[in-house]
Structure 1
Amino acid sequence: MTTGRTGTREEWLAARIALLAAEKEHTRRGDALARQRRALPWVRVDKAYRFDTEAGEVSLADLFQGRSQLLVYHFMFGADWAAGCPSCSAIADGFNGVVTHLAHHDVMLWAVSRAPLAKLLGYRERMGWRFPWASSADSDFNFDFEASFTEAQQREGITYNYRRQAGFVPQPETAGGRATPEAQFAAMCGTDVAAYKRDRPGLSAFTREDGVVYHTYSAYSRGVDGVWGMYPWLDRAPKGRNETGVWWRRSDEYEAGSRRDAASCCS
Structure 2
Amino acid sequence: MSSPVLKPAAELASTNRTRHPNESADYRRARQALLVEEIELRRQIERVAELRRALPEGGEVTKAYVFEGERGQAAFAELFGDRQTLVVYSYMFGAQREQPCPMCTSFMSTWEAKLPDIEQRVAFAFVARSPIARLIAAKKARGWTRHKIYSDTAGDYTRDYVSAVDADMPGYSVFTKRGGRIRHFWSGEMGMDTADPGQDPRGAPDMDPLWTILDTTPEGRGNDWYPKLGY
TM over 0.5: yes
Q: Would you say 1:88 and 2:104 are equivalent positions?
A: yes
CA RMSD of aligned residues (A): 1.8
Q: 1:1-267 residue pairs with structure 2 within 5 A?
A: 8-41=23-56, 42-104=58-120, 106-130=121-145, 131-147=147-163, 149-150=165-166, 198-220=167-189, 221=191, 222-223=202-203, 226-243=206-223, 245-250=224-229, 253-254=230-231
- Residue identity over aligned pairs, in percent, reads 32
**Which residue is 1:167 aligned to?**
none
1:4-45 per-residue CA deviation (whole Å, 9 max, x = no partner) reads xxx844332222121111011011111111112122222211
Distance in structure 1 (CA, Å) of the matches to 2:107 and 2:135: 16
Q: How many residues align?
A: 197
Q: Contact 1:202–1:224 at 8 Å: present in 2 too?
A: no
> CA–CA distance in 2 between the matches of 1:225 and 1:34?
10
Q: TM-score, normalised by structure 1?
A: 0.69
Preserved CA contact (<8 Å) 1:148 1:200: no
Contact 1:115–1:137, Cα closer than 8 Å, also in 2: yes
Which runs of no fewer than 5 residues in structure 2 stay unpaired?
1-21, 192-201
Going from structure 1 to structure 2, the CA distance change for 1:239 and 1:84 (only over 3 Å counts) comes to same
CA contact (8 A) 2:104 2:170 kept: yes
Structure 1 contact 149–199 (Cα < 8 Å) conserved: no
State the distance in 2 between where 1:238 and 1:209 align. 46
The CA deviation at 1:200 is: 1.1
Note if contact 2:90-2:162 (Cα within 8 Å) is conserved in structure 1.
no
Unmatched runs of 5 consecutive residues or more in structure 1: 1-6, 151-197, 255-267
Tell me the distance in 2 between the aligned counterparts of 1:230 and 1:52: 30
The two structures have a TM-score, normalised by structure 2, of 0.79
Equivalent residue of 1:226, what SS?
A: coil
Counterpart-to-counterpart distance in 1, 2:63 and 2:208 = 30
